[in-house]
Structure 1
Amino acid sequence: MAKSPITDYSKKGKPTLVFGRRGFSEDSLHHPLGLTITKDKNIAIANSKTNEIKVFSLTGKFASSFKLHSVNLMVDVGVSAVTTNQHGNLVASYTDNHEVQMLMAGSGKLKQTMKMDMQNNFKPWGVACDDKNIYVCDRQNSCLRVFTVDGKYQRDIGRKGTGDGEFMEPVGIAIMPNGKLAVTDFENHNIQIFSDQGVFCCTYGTEGDGPGQFNQPMGIAVDRTGFIAVTEWKNNRVQVLDAMGNSVTTFGQQGSAEGDFFSPSGIAITPNGQIVVADFNNNRIQVF
């Protein structure tokens, strides 16, 4: 089967679909954070304030929802990020419950839980999976936690700081086509690239609002050709980079009109090059 043509991201900026509204009905959203495209080509959304994953079709139709499993109701940030593994199961960060949960595809049944020693004050955020590992951004401890696919903790990548290979607040992670890890650092205002073994490769971006600069980068997604899409919480925009870190385009501004953002958070790229963005404070999803 022939692959779809390479997307011209420079033409992005006008949404083709906007859905969601604040509320507690099945098809509403309340502060959506992370999101992902599922194996069956739906949009799974980390709906933080109701602590559930909501699933919609690519046309914006509600499909299902799954509550994260816990007896702890005293949380501020519930589910903050969601991705899928090679089997199509959902892997979600339950931030203020200090754990990552894996839910069975289709049923939402809890399959396994990943935790750290409570003395670490583990605050999982962005999460990504390959066929060997689960990588979790620990926003509180300024590192990546690496688990096996069956949930066993292995090692850390990075440490607190502002230099190469160091983090202040890692929040988003995506796996590039070559297997490297691309990580957004909310407080250092950059993207850092690592090998899958945790070897630092390079940094993209500095603080600012120009092309190639970031102000509180949040979500990150990579397409099959290596293009990188990033949400910027403070700049209220999406920026697209090529695989070498060069800025291709930016779009969006603060507001509530279609195409505007108010604290964009999660982001994903569909197989045909659509960019799906969680618009956190507008309580909606926009597709470009």
Structure 2
Amino acid sequence: MEQFKHTTIYVLLLATLLLVAVDCQAALYQSRRGGGHVDVAFQYLLSDFSGPVSTQWARVVCEPTHQETYTLNQSGNEVRIYNHQGMEIYAFGADGGIVSALDVATDSDGTIYLLARDFSHYGVQVHDYSGQLKGEIVIQDPSPLLAEFRPDRLEIGAGNLYLLDSGRCKLAVIDTRGRLLRAFDLTAQIAPEREREGEKTAIYDISGFSVAGDGNIYLTVPTLFSAYRLNSEGRLEAFGTSGSGPGKFGVVSGITADAAGHIYVADRLRSVVLIFDRDFKFLGEFGYRGGRPEDMLVPDDLAYDPQQQHLFVSQAANKGVGVYKITIP
């Protein structure tokens, strides 16, 4: 009997130690610099009733009015809709009912916009909340600046659609009738020193792309180890330096910003998300290349939910989309 008591006590002590170890390990890896203070807490992975949904670098977008999240899994050509708790409530497209799509956007009335892979034939497909096709949008009277325009990224801002050709660094802003409002060729601004030297064939492929509520446009170019903010006047501001330490860029990808101007940049190589203020001062970063749910595997697309202060991080290796609560005093 005495031996049984000792064994029981030993098992309980071991279990307690294991629980403490697990709790310590559950903390996110974070770095802070320059007096900045950022608190990050892992929330969950986007899931259905079977568990976390496996996706590879899904496109992700937040609709803050109804606190819903939309993802496009390009490989499966499927749109999934999640509620504010990260649980899937609807999905469509896996049965082949939509054209092959590259990106997704949505507005507050539930209209879903899908950027067709074959843009010249299908343009932007317009669907209702249930996935039914309601029409398509093509650019009316395109500018000569948009010759051979093949957009592969889509964002929505102030009711207008922003179409980006990441390979040619060209951007078009259209309304929902397809009328061209503005067009940009960003090549000269992205690398002016190389442009002056005549290196016009250099590869500047844009990776991250988002449109903030204030109209600013955010971009990343991994080959230049840089991120950019394009303001409403068309002026491009660059920030970032290459390196492997905190605050440095390895292979930058997704980018987004919140209403206060804080900028979030995903780094595929370092498997972290870096946070900057509106003046491009580094505040901190979080993430770790590991197998825990809160860890990151080659993060890519980012989306921010202002209602819950949640940052959505799309990842590789079928990890899915991780959700993190960000608090910046």
Partner of 1:74: none
Change (3 A) 1:263 1:80: farther
SS at match of 2:131: coil
Distance between the aligned counterparts of 1:221 and 1:10, measured in 2?
Answer: 16
Q: Report if the CA contact (8 A) 2:47-2:88 is conserved.
A: no
Name the counterpart of 1:170. Answer: 206
Q: 1:164 Cα deviation (Å)?
A: 4.9
Partner in structure 2 of residue 93 of structure 1: 115
- Give the 3-state SS of the residue equivalent to 1:187 in structure 2: helix
Q: Identify the residue that residue 129 of structure 2 maps to in structure 1.
A: 106
The answer on whether the counterparts of 2:205 and 2:223 sit within 8 Å (CA) in structure 1 is yes
- Percent identity between the aligned chains? 18
Please say if 1:31 is aligned against 2:66. Answer: no
Find out whether 1:130 has 2:153 as its counterpart: no
What 5-or-longer segments of structure 2 have no aligned partner? Answer: 1-35, 196-202, 325-329
The answer for the alignment partner of 1:223 in structure 2 is: 258
Relative CO higher for 1 or 2, CA cutoff 8 Å, sep ≥ 6?
A: 2
- 1 CA distance for matches of 2:258 and 2:213? 8
- Please state if 1:150 is matched with 2:177: yes
Partner of 1:3: none
Contact 1:26–1:62 at 8 Å: present in 2 too? no
Contact 1:112 1:151 in 2 (8 A): no
The answer to whether structure 1 residue 49 and structure 2 residue 82 are counterparts is no
Q: 1:59 aligns with which of 79, 85, 100?
A: 85
What's the CA shift for 1:90?
Answer: 2.2
Q: Contact 1:221–1:230 (CA<8 Å) still a contact in 2?
A: yes
User: Which of 287, 298, 322 pairs up with 1:252?
Assistant: 287
Q: 1:238 to 1:286 in 2, by over 3 A?
A: same
Which residue of the other structure, out of 42, 57, 74, is the alignment partner of 1:15?
42
Check conservation: 1:177, 1:226, Cα contact below 8 A. Answer: no
Residue aligned with 2:300, SS:
strand
Secondary structure of 1:245's counterpart equals coil
Determine helix, strand or coil for the equivalent of 2:38: helix
Is the 1:145–1:153 contact (alpha carbons within 8 Å) kept by the matching residues of 2? yes
State the distance in 2 between where 1:190 and 1:154 align: 27
Matched, 1:82 2:104: yes
Alpha carbons 1:37, 1:268 under 8 Å: kept: yes
**C-alpha distance 274-9 of structure 1, shift in aligned 2 (>3 A):** farther
Tell me, yes or no, if the aligned pair for 1:135 and 1:146 is still in contact at 8 Å: yes
**Could you state the TM-score of these two structures normalised by the residue count of structure 1?**
0.79
Alignment RMSD: 3.2
1:287 maps to amino acid: V
- In the other structure, the counterpart of 1:188 is 224
1:205 is matched by which residue type in structure 2? G
3-state DSSP of counterpart to 1:170:
coil
Secondary structure, counterpart of 2:317 in structure 1: helix
CA 1:129–1:202: 2 relative to 1, 3 Å = same
SS at match of 1:265: coil
Say if 1:214 and 1:28 are closer, same or farther in 2 by CA, change over 3 A: same
Q: CA deviation at 1:95?
A: 3.9
1:42 touches 1:57 (CA, 8 Å); kept in 2? yes
Bigger CA drift: 130-139 or 96-105? 96-105
Aligned to 2:239: 204
Counterparts in 2 of 1:253 and 1:93: CA distance versus 1, 3 Å: farther
Asked whether the 8 Å contact 1:53–1:79 carries over to 2, the reply is no
Unaligned residue ranges in structure 1 (runs of 5+): 1-7, 71-77
Shift of 1:155: 4.6
Report which of the two structures shows the higher radius of gyration computed on alpha carbons.
Answer: 2
